[in-house]
Amino acid sequence: MNDTEAKTLCALQEEGFIESHTDAFKKLIQPAAHFCKNCGRSAVSEKNLCNPEKL
Name the nearest CA neighbour of 45 among 16, 21, 25, 20. Answer: 25
Residue 19: which residues within 8 A CB-CB, separation 6 or more? Answer: none
Q: Taking the domains of the chain in order of start, what are their residue ranges?
A: 3-54
pTM over 0.85: no
Cβ count near 21 (within 10 Å): 15
- In the chain, % of residues over pLDDT 70: 98
- 27-49 b/e (C-beta count within 10 Å ≥ 16 → b): ebbeeeebbbeeeebbbeeeebb
Question: pLDDT category, 1, cuts 50, 70, 90?
Answer: low
